[in-house]
């Protein structure tokens, strides 16, 4: 009788824990970006945050969603990718608005066709469709340019995936690229800090959340004997997170001389 009563209590508790874990998996990945988003809104500057972090996560999660069509995995992971894409687009929108509002007399850079009414843009005929300067890639002046780039990437990779969906080698490679791209998440921020010789403007809380989440995820992979590439990529993420935290310590205790950008009047070329 007692066993039956205990089982009656344990079943809903297990279900509750399962729902809680699924919810944490779906929304846990976006939590580190809340303090960074608030810091950017409060200070009205995005100089300390690398928007290439958004690029890495957009690419990784788009590839992960395409991987799902070749090999169905848990629904929470799929929803996590969808929520992360929305979050990164919101981050890009805020960063673009703040950056442009702080820039004066800067030539507009775009991903798609330039507006003929824009007197500052005088592109030659051969570049009338794309103002695609690699030096300004992912540093455009309108949020719609980022959306167009993301949609173009999604369309091209989606079409390729559709053609090769029956190939197990392609599907496995796609999954590996998704995981490996996400493992590179902290590299843009690491490089930006190194280039600026400072971590000012970067949310340390965000990096601490990265570190704790990546450590938990990597330990989970190892304990559950996940595929080898998952564990390797997880360890790589943890090492990059630790390197960024070392930058925080180094640049706060031993201030570095900022790198001169005199050769680049439009310092917006920085990541």
Radius of gyration of the chain (CA): 22
Q: Is the pLDDT of residue 66 over 70?
A: yes
Global confidence as pTM: 0.72
For residue 203, the 8-state DSSP code is -
pLDDT single digits (tens) 123-168:
444 443 345 566 778 888 889 999 999 999 999 999 999 999 999 9
Please give the average per-residue pLDDT across 19-26, as a whole number: 70
Residues 88 and 72: their CA atoms lie apart, in Å, by: 24
Cβ atoms of 113 and 130 within 8 Å: the answer is yes
Residues 43 and 233: their CA atoms lie apart, in Å, by: 34
185 CB contacts (<8 Å, ≥6 apart)? Answer: 53, 56, 57, 60, 210, 237, 240
Q: What pLDDT is recorded for position 206?
A: 83
pLDDT single digits (tens) 179-222:
888 888 888 888 888 888 888 878 888 888 888 888 877 777 67
Q: What is the mean pLDDT of the chain?
A: 78
Residues 236 and 243: their CA atoms lie apart, in Å, by: 11
Residue 233, CA distances (Å) to 55, 67, 192, 210, 238 in order: 18, 17, 21, 14, 9
Q: Shortest CA distance to 185 belongs to which of 15, 77, 61?
A: 61
pLDDT single digits (tens) 5-18:
566 767 777 777 76
């Amino acid at each position: 009788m007692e066993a039956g009563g205990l089982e009656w209590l344990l079943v809903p508790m297990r279900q509750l824990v399962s729902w809680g874990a699924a919810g944490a998996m779906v929304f846990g990945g976006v939590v580190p970006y809340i303090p960074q988003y608030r810091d950017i809104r409060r200070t009205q500057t995005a100089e300390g945050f690398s928007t290439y972090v958004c690029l890495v996560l957009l690419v990784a999660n788009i590839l992960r969603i395409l991987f799902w069509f070749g090999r169905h995995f848990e629904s929470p992971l799929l929803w996590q990718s969808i929520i992360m894409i929305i979050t990164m687009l919101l981050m890009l929108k805020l960063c673009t608005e703040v950056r442009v509002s702080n820039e004066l007399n800067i030539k507009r850079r775009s991903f798609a066709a330039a507006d003929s009414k824009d007197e500052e843009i005088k592109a030659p005929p051969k570049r009338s469709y794309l103002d695609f300067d690699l030096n300004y890639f992912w540093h455009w002046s309108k949020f719609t340019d980022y959306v167009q780039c993301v949609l173009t990437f999604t369309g091209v990779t989606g079409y390729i995936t559709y053609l090769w969906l029956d190939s197990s080698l392609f599907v496995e490679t796609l999954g590996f690229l998704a995981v490996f791209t996400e493992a590179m998440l902290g590299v843009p921020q690491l490089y930006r800090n190194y280039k600026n010789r400072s971590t000012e403007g970067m949310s340390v809380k965000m990096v601490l959340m990265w570190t704790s989440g990546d450590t938990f995820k990597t330990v989970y992979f190892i304990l559950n004997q996940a595929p080898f590439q998952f564990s390797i990529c997880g360890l790589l993420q943890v090492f990059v997170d630790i390197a960024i935290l070392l930058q925080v310590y180094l640049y706060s205790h031993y201030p570095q001389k900022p790198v001169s950008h005199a050769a680049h009047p439009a310092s917006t070329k920085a990541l």
